[in-house]
Chain A
């Protein structure tokens, strides 16, 4: 167990269910069941699970987008409920899929989101410039409309949209979707840089090599239940993350 002040994020009995089916015959389907976990300051926390495991639902609850059906979330040592905005100044969130408005230029988009945090104009300009450097967009590309970007470039833009306000805790949901190997390498550099700066990274993915390479600790989730949380080297010692992951997921079937 990590000491209290070292824990950035903590969930207790986190539970989320959805209603499904015709109006009078609705069934409740549990998406996340009794999730207890802790994320420590400055670590890269890998959140691994197959499709439909409940990763995105969990992230939506942690980022304040959806309300848990039950359970508690603690962020930066304080209880957090959906609708509250106090921790969101210090959180960055990269959603699984986004709809970036095509009729804005990249600079307009970054500027809009940076200004939402109330940052002054000079800081906004400086941050935007730094963000573009981070993802390797040259100056002439910055006035490009989002609609003319490739899916990979849009994904990189998604990543920096979450980092423009210099958050302390960053949630990445399937960050490398659409990225080519070069861009994936750039993403790894970004995570390395965040770690060096003492930021906490919550990395949700089903891409095993990415989680294996970047994470300090890994949580495996399937069918909404947390199956195991352990340091990455423990998985390596037991024959590799892939082997353990498959055993856990198939074992839970």
Chain B
């Protein structure tokens, strides 16, 4: 095998190795177990069978809301903590030396790390979504495909969180990467409120445009959660998903490119 084919093959091999290292993290199973306990609580609205307890909502909506919260919380926790733990062991100098002395470019190692962690988060998302879907399926006796499409936003968010962690880790390889990711996620919740504030300030056009551009560079967590809620039929939200999903994919690509190029430069010791 030679040329570009070998390059892709090496990235795929490293991704597989990172995925293997990530799924052998005991912490991941702790989070997954807790998420399943949480998801099991989605049975409660059906067991109580009294809509008044749940704001007169149908049991399906209440059940999906519990699942929605569980998946979004645990995807974030797994993305941040398992990714950090995996990277700390995988990119430790003593272990990295083994890869650096092979005919592998540094950016390939980082691309492999990203892909391996994406794989890990997607598997976790799939298992959790399957859990929620099975709970509602067992009560509703209908396939309810919108559960999968609505919760797929959590997978996108998971990939975004992993990209943020890897990006910050490539800049500062320690626990601060996790802290900064959580800060950015919190900032992402505030984007829509910040937009309103900027709109009311009456700034000159240039400043308003610059502020809008800056806000667009942040992950739009509120908007993405809104898309998920709309798909899951919690509320009748007037939100167009195209822009936010495209923006998230762009952000993931840019963060990935930055991480690979930063690692290429910083790992020449």
Task: Give Cα A66–Cα B92 distance, bound, in whole angstroms.
Answer: 15
* B1-9, B37-45, B66-74, B197-205 - interface stretch: B1-9
A103 touches B24 (CB 8 A): yes
A 82-104 contacts with B by CB, 8 A: 82-83, 85-86, 88-89, 91, 93, 95, 97-101, 103-104
Q: Bound complex: CA of A89 vs CA of B89, how far in Å?
A: 26
Contact B102–A117 (Cβ < 8 Å)? yes
Asked if A89 and B103 make an inter-chain contact with CB atoms under 8 angstroms apart, the answer reads: yes
Q: Assess whether A161 is interfacial by the CB under 8 Å rule.
A: yes
Q: How far is the CA of A98 from the CA of B96 in the complex (A)?
A: 9
- Number of A residues whose C-beta is below 8 Å from B? 32
Rounded to whole Å, the gap between the CB of A101 and the closest CB of chain B is: 7
Cβ–Cβ < 8 Å partners of B98 in chain A: 95, 98, 100, 113, 161
Whether B104 and A98, one on each chain, are in contact in the complex, defined by CB atoms closer than 8 angstroms, is no
Q: Which residues of B contact A85 (CB under 8 A)?
A: 103-105
A98 to B20 alpha-carbon distance, docked (Å): 19
Chain B at the A interface: mostly helix, strand, loop or mixed? helix
Q: How far is the CA of A98 from the CA of B101 in the complex (A)?
A: 12
State how many angstroms separate the Cβ of A113 from the closest Cβ of chain B.
7
B17 within 8 A of A: yes
Q: For the complex, is A64 an interface residue (Cβ under 8 Å from B)?
A: yes
Say whether A65 contacts B94, CB under 8 Å: no
Complex formed: what's the CA distance from A138 to B10 in Å? 29
Q: B21 in the interface, Cβ–Cβ < 8 Å?
A: yes
Residue in chain A with minimal CB distance to B9: A118
A165, chain B: closest CB distance, angstroms = 9
Residues of B within 8 A of A104 (CB): 20
Please indicate the chain B residues that have their CB under 8 angstroms from the CB of A137 in the complex.
none
Return chain B residues, CB-CB under 8 Å to A67. 268-269
Tell me the bound Cα distance from A85 to B107 in angstroms: 12
Is B143 close to A, CB under 8 A? no
Partner of B95, one of A83, A99, A118: A99
Kindly list chain A residues whose C-beta atoms are within 8 Å of the C-beta of B6.
118
Q: Which residue of B lies closest to A116 (CB)?
A: B102
**Interface of chain B residues 90 through 113 with chain A (CB within 8 A):** 92, 94-95, 97-106
Q: Does A130 touch B at the CB level, under 8 Å?
A: no
Contact across chains for B103 and A117 when beta carbons are under 8 A apart: yes
A101 to B94, CA, bound (A): 11
- Residue from B9, B101, B105 having most chain A Cβ neighbours under 10 A: B101
**Chain B contacts for A103, CB-based, 8 A:** 20-21, 24
A65-B100, A85-B105, A116-B13 known; 19 new pairs, CB 8 Å cut-off, are A63-B100, A64-B100, A65-B97, A67-B268, A67-B269, A83-B264, A85-B103, A88-B102, A93-B97, A95-B94, A95-B97, A98-B98, A103-B20, A113-B102, A116-B99, A118-B6, A118-B9, A118-B10, A120-B1
Q: Which of A47-88 contact B (CB under 8 A)?
A: 60, 63-67, 82-83, 85-86, 88
Q: Are B13 and A99 in contact (CB under 8 A)?
A: no
Output the least CB separation between A166 and chain B (Å). 14
Contact: B94 with A83, CB < 8 Å?
no
Which of B10, B21, B102, B106 has a CB less than 8 Å from the CB of A101? B21
**Given contact pairs A67-B269, A103-B21, A118-B1, A97 touches B101 in the complex (Cβ within 8 A):** no
CB distance from A171 to the nearest CB of B (A): 8
A65 engages B269 (CB within 8 Å)? yes
B23 CB to closest chain A CB, in angstroms? 10
Nearest CB in chain A to that of B92: its residue: A99
Contact A91 B101 (CB under 8 A): yes
> In the assembly, what is the distance between CA of A65 and CA of B1, in Å?
24
